[in-house]
């Protein structure tokens, strides 16, 4: 009987001394919403970190397009350029913002047969829409 009580006391003391593991079913905290201010344009190219031949309508043989973005107050944040042909996502490019202001861009190949409505969304790491640019090809 004494051995049983000692064993039970020892087990209770050992369990009480173990660190508690998280049993909470709450999800991990979401990424913080961006405080960045974003300017963006669609262009045919970038030269000396500036967009060239910007527009909202491009010919079917354009080949590729660039979403040029200027970010203010976003240093250290992650942005995404999410490209859509119609309602179909065709690209998601992750970009790091290194300072403020910061200029960055992504390039998307545009096959000649992919004519019609396009748009590109600039989103923060949490997925919040910061800017949308609509354009057409063809």
Domains of the chain are: 37-137 (2.60.40.1930)
**Stretch 75-104: mean pLDDT, rounded?**
97
**Stretch 4-23: mean pLDDT, rounded?**
41
**DSSP secondary structure code for residue 6 in this structure:** H
Identify the pLDDT of residue 46. 98
Strands 129-137 and 57-58: parallel
Please tell me the distance from the alpha carbon of residue 62 to that of residue 114, in angstroms, as a whole number.
11
Going through 20-73 in order, the beta strands assigned E by DSSP cover 37-47, 50-54, 57-58, 63-72
Percent of the chain predicted with pLDDT > 70 = 75
Rg (CA), the chain: 26
**Stretch 59-65: mean pLDDT, rounded?**
98
Please tell me the distance from the alpha carbon of residue 80 to that of residue 4, in angstroms, as a whole number.
63
């Amino acid at each position: 009987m004494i051995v049983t009580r000692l064993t039970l006391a020892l087990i209770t003391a050992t369990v009480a001394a173990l660190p508690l593991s998280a049993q909470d079913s709450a999800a991990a905290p979401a990424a913080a919403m961006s405080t960045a201010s974003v300017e963006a344009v669609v262009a045919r190219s970038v030269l000396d970190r500036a967009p060239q031949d910007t527009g909202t309508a491009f010919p079917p043989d354009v080949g590729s397009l660039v979403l040029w973005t200027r970010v203010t107050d976003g240093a250290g944040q992650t942005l995404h350029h999410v490209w859509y042909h119609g309602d179909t996502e065709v690209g998601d490019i992750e970009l790091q913002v290194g300072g403020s202001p910061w200029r960055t861009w992504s390039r998307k190949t545009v096959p000649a047969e992919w004519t019609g409505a396009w748009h590109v969304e600039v989103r923060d790491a949490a997925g919040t829409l910061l800017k949308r640019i609509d354009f057409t090809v063809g």
